[in-house]
Structures are given as structure tokens and as C-alpha cells.
Structure 1
Amino acid sequence: MHRRPLLQALALSPLAAAFTTSAQTRQQGRPAAGYGPLRPVADEATGLPLLMLPEGFSYRSFGWAGEALANGGVVPGAADGMGIVKAEGETFTLVRNHEILGVGGGFGPAASHYDAGCDGGTVTLRYDRAAGKLLEMRGSLSGTLVNCAGGTTPWGSWLTCEEIVTPAGHSGQHRGKPFKLEKPHGFVFEVPADGASNAQALTALGQFKHEAALVDTDGTVYLTEDAQPAGFYRLLPAKKGNLAAGGRLQMLRARKASDLRTGLKPGQQFDVDWVDIARPADGVGDNGNNGVLNQGRAQGGSLFTRLEGLFAGRDEIFFTSTDGGDAKAGQVWRFVPSQQRLELFIESPGASAFDYPDNLCLHPRTGLIVVCEDSKQPVQRLYGLRREGGLDGLFELARNNMQLAGGELEKLPQLKGDFRGAEWAGTCFSADGKTLFANVYRPGFTVAISGPFAG
């Protein structure tokens, strides 16, 4: 029951002319030029150079851990996955995960607690882009554990995913204090744009180490698993738009390829089909917490490793494998639903080229993919990725530059330390493509980045 490294920012752009790569850069295996060199940029909210960005880009931070929630308590840390669930003119409603493994009492209204003693969950934020002002923060789900990533739904809600599997009644010690969980964990929960979640576990989506969720246009829900080994899943819902009604959970099976972790080449393609998971809520099974994976594996389901971010374009779904590939530095996969075809889109030859990709999102107009980094590097980056050129299409879009001596933040003067190694997470673009929202995991806050994303 501990956090693993995560990586969260991917960016694709078909505008090849906007991105150049020198021969020297390719030989050294470093990110391509992208929008230009990065330099420290002052946060418009705090005045501090928290990020490094290209010329012409700006940002504003909001929703810091430790600030007060409108419905009681304070904002937790560990800001992870996030999505825009509602947009009204210049006002955006975002739901943000808090990946907390703790047993202390939760936050927000008691009616939104799943397992009352657990500290993970979600916070809902309303942000006015025109005014550059946070309008409200409130707890919207708690009593969960290790809420890592998730995904938005077409009907305007957020699916938050637990990245841990425990049976009901699980007990032990946490930070020197005994605990006992009343309910099982390892599920997906739905959070509405307004109000709070009903804290109902969506058991048809499986009990496993969930990472991300994606609802495709036909209602199919795709799911990644952050485990070693891992599976790639989908739910065929019994009723489109009503996940509580259940459905058929299935695991991907690549024909003639039972293990997709290593030994592959970028561009390699596989025809796929799917095998049914008979007992989706049996995540513990007979072997630790691999009950769902083992059900699929027994029928030839294909193995990945540490699947993370998940995002859809037009008839294509991208997802990342944080430590996949021969160098164990990461893979990006592309699945085409209409053809039931899987492709290894890129694979990192080593950490110096591309290291531990995590969450990702897609620019709504240019096709730019933004990938979050969650690696062991001393400074974490947001990457841009264009389709042409494979790894030569990678470039640095942003860099975490947060270093505090203490006392610089008026509302949170106690914060101090070097946070440059904190991962990026929760990237999502506004529908007009003008603003990229993203989270810095530790100490936990959100930024709204603006700039010439269209190239």
C-alpha cells in the first residue's frame, strides 16, 4: 500500500512545420525544439517562478493544498488526475483527484464518504478564466483510497479510480495507528459536476489497480491498470450513460502476442479481440490482488506493464505504459476501435530520450498530445508530441521549477522545499484549446496555462 512513480503529460501535433528537430538533438536523444526554449515565468497569482515555459506562454496557479474547502475542512494534497466536467462561458468546473493512502477521517460532506475513515477522494473547483479567479472549492467524494486518475463522461461527470485493491475488513497499521477498512477498495466512482458523489462503487468496472477511464462515443468505457503485469480493459455497458446498471467487463487479447511488455518495435501492429471477465468485482482472487487480471490471463488476455494515461481522438485511443519497453522507460500505445487494431506508437530507447510517461491529453484543434512525466529525474516535465517522426516529435512544453525557502506564499507561509521533482498530472484542455489545465502533485495545486498552442 504505497504510491508508485507516475508520469502524466503527452502532446501530439500534426503541424509538422511548427516543430523542428536538429540532427544534434536527435543524436543526443533530447526533446525537440517545440515552441522554443523554456525560461522561468512568474505565476500571475503568486508572482513566483513556479514553472518554466516557452516565450509567449503564461499561467496562474489556484486550488492549493491546505486552503479551506467551502463545505468544511481543507484541500488535501497529492493532486492527481483531473478533468473539465462543465463549461459555462469563461467558467470551468473541474474535478480533481487526491491520491491519498491514509486512514484519518476524510474530508467534505459525510454523505459523500464511501468508507468513512479513508482520506482519498475528489475536490471540485470552479474557475473563472476571464477574471483569473477561483470561485469555489468543495469536497465532492471522500472515504476512498489512492484516487489516481480517471476520466470525464459525455454526460458531464468525472470517473475517479482507486489504484489499490483491498478486501472488506482489511486491517493493519498506518503511521503507527491501527485501522480497519469497512468496505472493499479498488473501484471506480462517479462524481457529478454539481453537488457531491453518491459514493457508489461501480463494481461492473472491475476491482483492480485502476488508473484511467475513458468513455468513447458509443458508450464503451476503456480502462487502464497500473500494475506489473497489467491488462487493458473495456466495459460494454448494459445501458449507455448509466454505468450503475452494469455491463460486460472484458480484457484485450492481441492475437499471437500474449506479452506486450518488451521485445517489440515502434509501429508494430496487432489485431485484437476481447475476453470476458466473469467476476469483475473479485479483484483479490486466489493470488493477492490480481483476481481480475488472472481471469483474463487464463483466456489469453495480453499483458502490459503499468498502464497509465488514456485519451481519445477521432476513432483512436492513446494510452501509456510507464515502464514498458526494452529500456523500461515507457511506451505509448494507439488503439483504433473501428478496426480493432493495436499499434505501438512510440517506445523510449532510454531515460535520456523520454522517461516514465503518465497522464496525457489531446489538444482539441491541433491534435497536439501533452504527456505528463512521473519519473525519477530531478526535474519533471510536460512533453509535447507530434505524430510525425516518432521520438523526434517530442519536445519540452513545460518544466516544474518550484523551489520555496518558506514564507513566499501569503496563504501558506509554512510551505518550503524543492518541489521540482514532483510529477505533473491531470492535464486537460479547454474546448477552445486556449488553456491547458494541469496539476503539480506535490504540495498539490492546479495551473491554468495560456499561450499559442495552435502553433
Structure 2
Amino acid sequence: MSVSRRQALARTGALAVGIAFTGAVSELFAGTAAAQHMGHTGYGPLVPDPDGLLDLPEGFRYKVLSREGDPLRSGEGRVPSHHDGMAALPGRGGRVHLVRNHENRATARLGVPTVDGLTYDPAGKGGCTALTLDARGNVLSERVAVAGTAVNCSGGPTPWGTWLTCEETEDRAGTNGYAKDHGFIFEVDPADPRRTGAVPLTAMGRFQHEAVAVDPRNGIVYETEDAFVQPFGLFYRFLPNKPLGGTGALRAGGRLQAMRVPGVPDLSAVQEPGACFDGVEWVDVPDPLAEQTSVRLQDYGRKGVTRAQKLEGCYWGGRSVYFVSSYARSEEGSAADHFGQIWRYTPDRRHLTLVVVFGPDTDVRLPGESPDNICLAPSGGLMVCEDGNGAQHVFGVTRKGEVYEMARNRQNIGTEEEPEWGEFAGVAFSPDGRTMYVNCYTPGTTFAVTGPWRG
């Protein structure tokens, strides 16, 4: 991120911890049984960690499952850098499969080790690693799940128990030493990585992917594009030829479309929470492989498509898909400024609603900005990974819009005079809701957090 209001406030000592919200936050959790039990705000103040890793509320504890540079238990090499998006998928006998992205560029210190049968492009340093935990949370195995990809940022789980990992780049073969084109989605089976291999799902588009969410009713995949400079990114849906076909079925191809909201060329222009737009349209992407022109630059006709700066998190809840615009800055070309939005698209009604707006406009003492990875918590609320400047937190949000600190990163990667902390990413809960998993991006660290969770 560039210099922001958060940094300016931090320098004056006026920075308070927290996120300000406006909007119908309860709409995020409508219809969930757990939401009806939310009556408390948070779990109390954070307790400083004597080991200097992770501050948590009293009664909670963490376990470090994996750290950058440590040997992989498989013997394939060392744990790669830049821990990012992650999912916790159920296994047999109470086991949990954690599949974890590594957002490594060509310059990364520790790339994902190349493994025969699991490597797409040997020059790529990104990919995924997979951890298998037993019913008590102990690490049983840790291995490479896919390698030779690039800038694996986020992704999303599938209803059939695999992970879709997304490359956040459009680099072509010959760029940064790559031997193949990048910018694809890959399917990863953390329980048996060789079952999925390293096959790009080319029909799902080649662009700066961020996250995906799958409609469990019909298999339609929704995709966000993280473009922070003009032209800004699009929100997509992929109509698979073999919907809900299970592992490997997405290789059969399908149709990629971009969202058009009539009368709204830029989502940042919408500032009022609760604003709803009917008649959302979907326009076929002319060239999903972007052979000549980037997908977002292609010709979508006179009416065009709808854009947004920094589209990131994406998840399915109830009968809707939710997606995040991390921020918008008019100085960089957006129609208006905001410090984060959460949008809800309901396919059955073709409705798009602005649910939540983050930011200091609601309270200048609470300069919340740049929500990134988000997930639903067992309590019915949200967990939000902060990706800004200064101190980095995982925030909880109740369905009433009340915000509380859940975790604070204590690993200083700066200096004592000018401290700096890596962002959080990949927040996810175990299938039984008793453990929260979260990554520290730098230094790459994967935590398991247990305690008196409600829900």
C-alpha cells in the first residue's frame, strides 16, 4: 500500500485500533442458525504474548504449525515464503487438511520446491503446500501440493473437497524467466495432490486472479480480479460444462462471463450501504486466455462492464456470493474513495447489494481500511484479515456490526525505531468450528488458535 491516512494518524499518535463500519452487517449472516446466538462483542482485550508472536484474548492459545524456512516433513525441501490464502478441509477420522498458498514472485527467497508430477513451470516459485492434522490438531504431514505456479494469492474451496488456487499475475512465457504463460486457476487435492497434478484451468480465464467461491447448488464459480491500477478489475462467473462434476471436472471447460450492473460502471461510486441494484447482467468474455489483450481490456460492447479497484476476498454464504473491494482511491482513477466494501450478489434475484462500508468516515478515531481475506466464524460473525499499515490484526465482526480484536501480529520485521508487521491472510476455521487457522504473510507462519469460541 502507498502512504495513507492510517500512516499519517500513526505518526501523530492518533491511531486507534479498530475498524469502523456502516451498513446492514446483519445481512451478511441472515438465515444462519449460529447468527441467532450472537449476543456478545468479542472475547476481551488482547494479552501480550511473552514469546512475541501472536497476541490473543485471555483463554485463547495458539500453536505454530509451520514456519517459513523449516524443513517440510515430506523431505521435499524447506517451507516456502509468503503464506497467503488457505482453506481447512475435512479428512477421514477427524483429520483436517490445510491447503496453503504461497504468493511467491520470481524474486522470492524461498520458492515452493519443484516435485515431479506436481510442477507446472519449473521457473515459477509459487504454489501450494498441504498439511494434514490429526483429530487433536497435531501435524501428521506437510508436503508440496502444487509447484511451478506464480503469485498464488488466494482461491477458494470446492463443494467436493478440493482447493482452487489462483495466480495473481498476467506474466507471459519469457517474462521473469517463466517458460509458460501464467495467470490461471489450478485445482489442488490436499489429501492426494497427485490426483490433481499441475493442470491450469484455462477456460476459467487468464488474469490477475484473487479469490473464488462456488455456488454449491449448481457449481457456478465466481471469481474476483485484483487490479489496483487502471483499468480496474472485473467480477466474473464461470459456467462449467460439467457442473458439480467433482475433482477434475472443471478441466472440461465452460463459459467465462463478466458482470455488468446497468448504470454503474464503477462500484466505488456507490457509497450508501444497503444500495441495491436489480437486473445484473453477465457478458461473455471474448478471449478468456487473453491471447492478444488482457481480459479486462477486451471489447464488451457499447454498454461495457462494471469495474472495481482491488477486488479481493470472495465467499459463498446462504444463497448469495459475497466479495470484497479492499479500497478505492480517486487519485488512482476510481470514481470515489472508500476504505473497503463488502458486496452481496444474489443470483436467484439478480440483485447486487452494498452491505458494508469500512473506513474512517464513520469515526475519525477508527481508521479501518483494506479488508482482505475474510471468512464466516462459527459464531455467525466474520473474521477479517487486515492488510494495511502499522499494527496488523485479525478483527471479528458480529452480525450487529460490532468490531473486536481477535489477534495481533507481534513479529516485527522492521526495526525498533520503525517497526513493521506482516499482514494476516488465509483465515479459516476447522470443520468442527473449534480451531481458527490463520497465516502471517511475512515471516511465513501458520497458526492454529483454540479457546472458548462461541457458536
Q: Note whether the superposition's TM-score is higher than 0.5.
A: yes
The one of 360, 370, 378 equivalent to 2:374 is 360
The one of 39, 50, 68 equivalent to 1:18 is 39
Distance 1:297 1:227, change over 3 A: farther
Listed one character per residue, the Cα deviations across residues 421-452 of structure 1 (whole Å, up to 9, x for unaligned) are 21111111112211111111111111111123
Mapping 1:175-214, distance limit 5 Å: 179-193=176-190, 194-196=192-194, 197-214=196-213
Alignment partner, residue 372 of structure 1: 385
Contact 2:386–2:395 at 8 Å: present in 1 too? yes
1:212 positional shift: 0.4
Indicate the RMSD between aligned Cα atoms, in angstroms.
Answer: 2.9
Alignment partner, residue 449 of structure 2: 449
Q: Does 1:274 align with 2:282?
A: yes
TM-score, normalising length: structure 2: 0.82
Contact 2:167–2:184 at 8 Å: present in 1 too? yes
1:137 positional shift: 0.9
Q: Does 1:401 align with 2:398?
A: no
Listed one character per residue, the Cα deviations across residues 261-307 of structure 1 (whole Å, up to 9, x for unaligned) are 2342111111212111121111x644xxx334534476521111111
The one of 255, 258, 262 equivalent to 2:265 is 258
Mapping 1:48-447, distance limit 5 Å: 48-69=51-72, 70-102=74-106, 106-130=112-136, 132-170=137-175, 179-193=176-190, 194-196=192-194, 197-217=196-216, 218-228=218-228, 229-240=232-243, 241=245, 242-271=249-278, 272-282=280-290, 285-286=292-293, 290-296=294-300, 299-324=303-328, 326-350=336-360, 352-363=366-377, 365-376=378-389, 378-389=390-401, 393-403=402-412, 421-447=421-447
| Cα distance in structure 2, aligned partners of 1:59 and 1:417 | 28
Question: Could you say what secondary structure the match of 1:231 adopts?
Answer: strand
Question: Could you say what secondary structure the match of 2:117 adopts?
Answer: helix
Distance 1:37 1:96, change over 3 A: same
Mapping 1:28-43, distance limit 5 Å: 34-41=42-49
Alignment partner, residue 412 of structure 1: none
Distance 1:151 1:419, change over 3 A: farther
Distance 1:418 1:67, change over 3 A: farther
Question: Could you say what secondary structure the match of 1:261 adopts?
Answer: helix
TM-score, normalising length: structure 1: 0.82
One-letter amino acid of the counterpart of residue 367, structure 1: G
One-letter amino acid of the counterpart of residue 116, structure 2: A
Question: Could you say what secondary structure the match of 2:339 adopts?
Answer: coil
1:395 positional shift: 2.1
| Cα distance in structure 2, aligned partners of 1:231 and 1:327 | 18
| Cα distance in structure 2, aligned partners of 1:209 and 1:405 | 29
Unmatched 5+ residue regions in structure 1?
21-33, 43-47, 171-178, 407-415
Distance 1:4 1:332, change over 3 A: farther
| Cα distance in structure 2, aligned partners of 1:198 and 1:99 | 19
Percent identity over the alignment is 40
One-letter amino acid of the counterpart of residue 249, structure 1: L
Distance 1:299 1:404, change over 3 A: closer
Listed one character per residue, the Cα deviations across residues 231-267 of structure 1 (whole Å, up to 9, x for unaligned) are 1101010001311011110111112212112342111
